[in-house]
Structure 1
Amino acid sequence: MAVSGRYDAVVVGSGPNGLAAAITLAQAGRRVLVREAMDTPGGGLRTAELTLPGFVHDVCSAVHPLAVSSPFFRSLPLAEFGLEWVHSPACMPHPFEDGTAALLERSIEATGATIGSDAAAWRRLLARDVERWRDLAAGVLGPLRFPRHPLLMPRFGLKAVRSAQHLAESTFRGEHARALFAGTVAPSTACVATMQHGLP
C-alpha cells in the first residue's frame, strides 16, 4: 500500500511505545499510520485464550509497572476506553528447592516477611524510592531536563549505575533476598519501586 503523501509519519509496531509515539504525533496534528505485523495490536501488552476458553493469558509480559507510572500514559483518559490496571498481591515469586519462596509483594513490609533477616536491608535499599516514587517517576520516565528534585535523582542514580550482582551481594546476606533482587534487574529497580508503591 502506497503511503507517500497521505501520512506525515508511519509508526511500525502497536505496542506501548509505538502507540505512545503515534498518539503524540496525532496530538500534534500530524497524520499517522500505525503498522503492525501481528494479527492483533498491543505488542507486549496482548492477551489471548491460549489454553481453555475463558482463560486469558499474557502473550508477552505480565507486569507493566512503568506503564502504570508513566507520566505520558497517566495523561491519557485510558479508563474511558476500558483500560483497567489489574494488580496482583504478589507481583513476582522466586521459588526455592526447599519449598519456600521469596515474593515481591505490594509493600516493603510484606516482601520483607518472605526474605527473612534481609527485610531491614530491603527496606533501606528501597524505602526512599517507594515513598517518593511519584516525584522520582517524573524524572526517571519523563523528558530529559533538570530534575525538579535534584537530590532525589542522584541518590537513585548511585544505586542504578552499580551492577545488580554487586548491589545485591553488598546489600543482602541471604539467598532469598539476593535471588528476588536478581529477578528484578530485567524490569529494573524502578519497576520494583512502582509495584511496592501501590500505584495507581
Structure 2
Amino acid sequence: MIDPYEMLGISREADGATIKSAYRKRAKTAHPDAGGDVDLFSRLTTSYELLCDPVRRKVYDDTGFDPELADTKDLQGLVILETLINEVILDEREPGSFDPVAAMRRKLTDKIVNARIHILEMERHRARIRNHIDRIGRKPETDVLGRMLRSRCETIGEAIGRAENEIENIEKAYGMLDGYSYEIDAVAEIKSAAE
C-alpha cells in the first residue's frame, strides 16, 4: 500500500494548497517527459488525486487503504476482514468481555487449515485420476476417456490454484491484524461467562 502523504512528502494535516504545491514540485522531476519513471509518476498522480478528494482522503485517513493505491492482495485481505468485522459488530456479547481480534485470528487460521486440507484432498483425487490414466488402454482412433480424465486433472489443478490463492489472501488479512491487541474487561468477561 502506498502512503500518499509519504509519496508527496507532506504531513497528514496538509491543506489543499500544500498538497498541490508538493505535487507540482515532485511531478516536475517524476514526469516521464522529464526523464522520470512512468510508474512513479502514476503513483504520484494517484496520491495527489486521493488527497484532493475529501471523501477518499477521509476513507484513507480512517482505514489506511484506498482501492487505487492498494495491491490486489490487500483488497482481497480487506474483503476477508470486512466479513469478520461484520461478525464482531453482530456479536451480542458485551464489548470487553471477549477479544474480537483473537477471534478473528482464530477464524483466519481455521480458514487456512481448511483450505490446506481441501488442497490435499484435491491432490489425492488428482493422483487417483492420473493413476487411472496410466492404466487405461487407449482406443486407437480417439481417446475419449483419456481426454475426459485429463480434463478432470486440469480442472482440479485450476481449483488447487484458486485454493492456494485464497490462502495467500487469508494470510494477507491475517497480516493486517499484526500489531492489534484488545483489552479485556475482567468484570465484563466474568459476567459474559455467567450468561
Please classify the TM superposition score into its range, dividing by the shorter chain length: under 0.3
TM-score (norm 1): 0.23
Q: Which has the higher strand share?
A: 1
Q: Which has the higher helix share?
A: 2
